[in-house]
Amino acid sequence: MAFNDFFAGEIAVELLKQLLAISRKSCLCKSSADNLISSIEELLPIIDEIKYSGVELSAVRQSQLDRFSETLRGGIELARKVLASGRWNVYKNLQLARKMEKLEKQVSRFVSGPMQAHLLADVHHMRFETMERFDRLEGRLEQRLNSMKIGAGGWVEEAVKRMEVEEEASLGIIGGVGLDLGKNNVKKMIIGRDDLNVIGIWGIGGSGKTTLANEICKDNQVRSHFNDRILFLTVSQSPDVQQLRARIWGFLTGNEAMGYTNNLFVPQGTLQCEWGSGPRTLVVLDDVWSLPVLEQLIFRIPTYKTLVVSRFKFPANVVSEVYKVELLREDESMSLFCHSAFGQTSIPPTANETLVKQIVNECKGLPLAIKVIGASLRDQPEMYWASAKKRLLRGEPICESHENKLLERMAISVEYLCKKVKECFLDLGSFPEDKKIPLDVLINMWVEIHDIDEEEAFAILVELADKNLLTLVKDARVGDSYSSFYEICVTQHDVLRDLAIHLSNSGDVNERKRLLMPRRDAELPREWERNTDQPFNAQIVSVHTGEMREMDWFRMEFPKAEVLILNFSSNEYFLPPFIDDMPKLRALIVINYGTTEAILENFSAFTNLANLRSLWLEKVWAPQLTNLIVPFKNLQKLSMVLCKVNNSFHPSVLDLPLIFPRLSELIIDHCDDLIKLPVSICEVNSLQSLSITNCHQLCEMPANLGMLKKLQILRLYACPELKTLPPSIGELIGLKYLDISQCVNLRCLPKEIGKLASLEKIDMRECSQIMSLPTQTALSNLKSLKRVICDDEVSWQWKHLEKAMPDLYVQVAEKWYSLDWLDG
């Protein structure tokens, strides 16, 4: 008998009916029948629970339950014989009574034996998996996020931790029947069907497609089947197809580094070949929008499978079989909504039940809409809820074009935000889809255009995260480190990004506050070109293209523009001439999403940027700065990430105080050609924060570093060629935070470090060459020191200070490595 028949409940229900009849009719078998009725009634709820759980059982459990189902089937036959036996056939009735007693004992033994063992095993597995999950979460948070900036305490850590816990809780709510059944169905296609090479997950935006795909990738059975050879890639609306092909080909051939740097060796066209039996491999392509793009990313090779996640259903000759993600059932929708709105899985007694049900009904089972609308109504008065319901009811009924109405329905979540928070949400549409947005970029932009400080900007970010309008995550790209905005990033669901763009693009193009390109294109929008006869009054301008040459731009006037975001993917890029016509520009962000650093041209456009306060350059050749360049008179923050900078910072030609007279923060991250800093950097008296991180060729710091009397933060982590710190570091009288973690060749701390009376925190983890510290007498002068993070080998020397310095806390760090930043 098939196992699934048993768990359909048919055998147990039929046997129960027969036993009830026996109990009424047969005197000899009445006692056994009554006992069996009691046992079967106890089993039926468990049978129903397993029936609807969608959970796949182990082979041992399935074998035991198969045997038990055969026993119950035999019980049905026995019950029928009892009912058919004549009252006067005493001998036969005695035989049947003995068989009934034997059946009763078999059922009783199973209920009190194997069934109890199954329950105990389930409890043990649940407890172990839950504790393991929370241990990983706690460990990751403690290691990778202690505080945001000096004096920030732990409020940023708590915000990120709350977001991760909330996400886990939401997953637990929607991870019941629907998610488990979906996972089992997709697993059967992936590991149970050798004839299927391309499988699809299909559903509307926000329905949980990516969540399901992620759960598939984390499933132990799937991971074991593919021996952990699983690659997850986000494709998006504007993909770099060649780079994605290189990533896949590098993964298939075992040369993953090639996927980040070189696509010359990738076979062109749709690859189909017979390799025989190679290692099993699964590639997940998430957020696929285009059939031509998908066809270029499918390699039809035996033992290699592709899982395609998309809002669109592709032809059967491309995607062999598709699983459609269903919307949530009524009870699942209510549980998820109550979790978002009330922090529990049911309607509280104090809430208006009718009003809650009406609002949940208008969400139509879409998980993302439920979470966003529920979070926006949290802690709001009943009149606020009633107003929201009326606005929902004004929309047209949702039919097959549900997705087309989603933006209007989700816009309610934004309309009730206060003006400043709403403006910050709309700003998120300025960045490309499915890309991590460095938090530092957002904070800088909001500070400049919304007249707020960094603390308020971050509070707004946390509010948006609490309302499920964005996701605040740790960016592992820069490794395990602390205390900086640029080590955290923001992601946003593409439906929410569409909403921000939809709300920003209303009205006349020349009068829009944000002039945005929704996705990457080869040229500027024609709508912009048709309206160049009038000035554009946008405050934020965001451009997303490939390579741009001088002739690709047309003249545009931006008298009110304060932020310009240039997103592109190319090896060369001509800066737009209209920068000259942005007299109020305060923040310029240049990000290259290509595979190599891009050469920037037309830096003469910078001559009129007298009001520029923040400049972010990513994956470009930084401009060659000379003494002849027009000074950036008001530039306060300069960030260079993944850039080539050696030509820019040539020590012999720079007069940095002249070029950057007001610079307060300098960030140089993952710039692998930086060998030395120019000596003149020590004369930038306004500098308060200096971060040189992951620069693997940096070999020394300027001898006169101590001239930076206003410097409060000095980060030098992951600079393996750095062997010494200059003695003048002791003259940094304002220094509060020193990070030298992962400087593996740094040999010692200079004795002059004891002069840093303002120093509050030192991070020196993974400095394996530092085996001893300066004298206890020298270190005892660090009166402000509150926290030290170090390796176990030197921790005892720091702990000797704890008696003399009761406020000091010494933390022994665990080693942690990651290459996740390569997927940025």
**pLDDT value at 653 more than 80:** no
Per-residue pLDDT reduced to its tens digit, 176-197: 556 778 888 899 898 888 888 8
Is 457 in contact with 388 (CB distance < 8 Å)? no
CA-CA distances (angstroms) from residue 767 to 554, 728, 773? 53, 21, 12
Is 26 in contact with 93 (CB distance < 8 Å)? yes
Which residues lie closer than 8 Å to 228 by C-beta, 6 or more apart?
none
For 771-798, what is the mean pLDDT? 88
Which segments within 593-736 are labelled E, that is strand?
598-601, 614-618, 620-621, 637-641, 665-669, 689-693, 713-715
Phi-psi region of 670 (alpha: psi -120 to 50; beta: other; left: phi over 0): left
Q: What amino acid is encoded at 496 in this protein?
A: L
**698 closest CA partner among 661, 679, 680, 671:** 671
For 456-463, what is the mean pLDDT? 89
Task: Identify which of 155-164, 531-540, 647-656 has the greatest average pLDDT.
Answer: 531-540
**201 closest CA partner among 273, 105, 306, 101:** 306
Residue 150: other Cβ atoms inside 10 A? 13
Per-residue pLDDT reduced to its tens digit, 194-227: 888 899 998 766 778 888 898 899 899 999 999 8
Q: Which residue has the tokens 């087309």?
A: 404
Is 21 in contact with 87 (CB distance < 8 Å)? no
Phi-psi region of 516 (alpha: psi -120 to 50; beta: other; left: phi over 0): beta
For 627-656, what is the mean pLDDT? 77
Calpha distance 190→307 (Å, rounded) = 8
Strand-pair category, 281-288 with 471-474: unpaired
Calpha distance 474→477 (Å, rounded) = 9
Q: What Rg, from alpha-carbon coordinates, does the chain have?
A: 32
Please give the structure tokens belonging to residue 579: 């920068």
Calpha distance 531→726 (Å, rounded) = 57
**pLDDT value at 466 more than 80:** no
Per-residue pLDDT reduced to its tens digit, 225-284: 998 899 999 888 778 888 888 888 888 877 655 444 455 456 665 555 444 456 889 999
Please give the structure tokens belonging to residue 20: 């009830």
Per-residue pLDDT reduced to its tens digit, 291-345: 889 988 888 888 889 999 987 778 888 888 889 888 788 888 899 899 988 988 8
pLDDT at 519: 82
**19 closest CA partner among 92, 95, 107:** 107
Calpha distance 453→223 (Å, rounded) = 46
Phi-psi region of 632 (alpha: psi -120 to 50; beta: other; left: phi over 0): beta
Calpha distance 330→334 (Å, rounded) = 6
pLDDT at 116: 55
Residue 471 DSSP class: E
Calpha distance 204→688 (Å, rounded) = 48
